[in-house]
Chains A and B, each alone.
Chain A
Amino acid sequence: MSIELEHVSYVYNPGTPAQWQALRDVSLTIRPGEFVGLIGATGSGKSTLVQHMNGLLRPTSGRVRVFGMDTSDPRTDLTRVRQRVGLVFQYPEHQLFAATVAEELAYGPTNLGLAPEEVQRRVRWALRAVGLGEELLTRSPFSLSGGQARRVALAGVLAMRPDVLVLDEPAAGLDPLGRREILDLIRNLHREGMTIVLVSHSMEDVAELATRVVVLDQGRVVMDGPPRELFRRHRELAALGLAAPVAAQLVDALKARGWPVPGQAVTIREAVAEVTAALAARRRERRPEGGREGGRAGV
């Protein structure tokens, strides 16, 4: 198991008037190779939860184990935890600080105590992994475009060579192309074997990418399952301030209008397949009967 949370609760500012319980008895296991989409309204506890995954926060009660290392155990080396689980915050480019991209990317691996040659190898690999050229190495991170700076920040985490990559809204604020690029990159990292936890407000993105979706509400895990099953529960999602992808909404609406569709689609491709299959079935049905009307309404 990569990350195991057992009955994790977390309280901010305990014992003060500002006390706030952000997580309530969360048990969750992230398995190697999964692509987990983590969704929930603002304030549902997503960011608090992901900060437990690399030991930035430690549970008020319960236990978090990262590759077997208990993050609450004082003997646990948190540097080791953070090397295994890389966390990319929202708007990570706001945290760039070095004078050059090369220094920025070398910072993490250098702190791991790696030999300079290994550090350089990782810097170049990480830069390539995020699709940037080596000509950027000597540039100041502050002279980059928004999309480039975002990718440099991501490369800084990748240079640690984590087994698990946790990303909090990695596409927020990017234009549609920047968005597609960063999501393709994450998809590629997953294909190459990295375990991914993606926090996102975009149900379309989660439907396209995730193999498993976890829904948080008021600090609790309220749904956990494959996107196909989960995105069918439109009403529940709407009540949680979330929306199903448009593809799921379409097949649901058609089903309600009497179309013979399974109503399982969550991606555009799947919705197109359901609609074309229903239309083809309808045509087959009609032909032998010479176009007699009066079958299912609407089709």
Chain B
Amino acid sequence: MASRRGEPSEPYILVRDVTYRYPGPPGGEPVLALDRVGFRVYRGEFVAVLGRNGSGKSTLARLLNALLLPQEGEVRVDGLDTRDPANLWAIRDRVGMVFQNPDNQIVAAVVEEDVAFGPENQGLPPEEIRRRVEEALAAVGLTALRDRPPHLLSGGQKQRLAIAGALALRPACLVLDEPTAMLDPRGRAEVMATVTRLREEAGVAVVLITHFMDEAARADRVVVMDRGRVVLEGSPREIFAQADRLRALHLDLPPVVALAAELRAAGVPVPPGILTLDELVEALCRLS
């Protein structure tokens, strides 16, 4: 087991043929949430998971750190089988989770205490706890607000605090389940900037579940789920080139991609694969 760990070609998280059912209504059939799903996350990569409501995204997310266990198939994190109870805390140290509602994830009365909560529970020495709190606060840009009561933070700040709390356990992977759904545009931008920086500076792998197509456009890889299965997988450019397919899956194009597509439909020869506003402006300016 140990010899397999850390080899770069191995996925850090491996989800193989996983099936998961929730109990159905009384007397009814169980609800199939995941249907033989395969999924992998490599060290340091940024994966976005898209899919309509009920497609299985959140169930998949909860399997990645053993909040749920596969009923069929297996999930391995850094080689550790999530079904083995002995691995539970080792897995939770490796894979952190951040959820949609920031108010449900904050436990302490002061920002830095909230960040210290995880490392304290691990029984780390005070010196180490302090170091990790510093590091995590700096990583999300909340150092200046360390003495604030969390309820006085904005939505974006609260989500960054939730991310800091997860980071204080020094995970190799962070799973974020619609972390920006309840935020205003500034809060969304703050969280996305933090996520991008984590991956670039700390090499933390990120799995981002989102309904915002423009957020997915920033990922290394996009995975689209539908009815409990992975139905599309590729780079954002590959995925967002398939407008009709996405629409059929109840998804959309990021606003910039939609704008580029409409320009193309109106006869303006913008090249395919444009993802950002800057790319679109450059492409238009090159036209003549």
Contacts and interface: CB of A to CB of B under 8 A. Distances in A.
A240 to B, nearest CB: 9
Nearest to B285: A298
Contact of A242 (B185, B213, B259, B277): B185
A250 B258 CA distance: 12
B68 interface: no
B185 A173 contact: no
A204 B214 CA distance: 12
Contacts of B9: none
A180 B186 CA distance: 23
B277 A275 contact: no
B252 A243 contact: no
Interface residues of A, number: 42
Contacts of A147: 53
Given A247-B259, A250-B259, A250-B277, A41 B186 contact: yes
A42 interface: yes
Interface size class of B (residues with CB under 8 A): 35 or more
A207 to B, nearest CB: 10
Contact of B255 (A177, A179, A204, A242): A204
A276 B259 CA distance: 13
A112 interface: no
B54 A146 contact: yes
A275 B250 contact: no
Interface stretch (B12-20, B34-42, B120-128, B263-271): B263-271
Interface string A169-205: 0001111111110000000000000000000010110
A246 B288 contact: no
Interface in A204-262: 204, 241-243, 245-247, 249-250, 253-254, 257, 259
Nearest to A142: B25
Interface centre among A143, A176, A180, A249 (most CB of B within 10 A): A176
A283 B267 CA distance: 14
Contacts of A241: 184-187
Interface in B159-188: 178, 181-188
A188 to B, nearest CB: 20
A251 to B, nearest CB: 10
B258 A268 contact: yes
Contacts of A268: 255, 258-259, 262
A254 B255 CA distance: 17
Given A272-B266, A275-B268, 12 more contacts: A41-B154, A42-B155, A174-B211, A175-B211, A176-B213, A178-B250, A179-B211, A180-B252, A242-B184, A250-B277, A254-B285, A272-B259
Interface of A: 40-43, 143, 145-147, 172-180, 201, 203-204, 241-243, 245-247, 249-250, 253-254, 257, 259, 268-269, 271-272, 275-276, 279, 282, 298-299
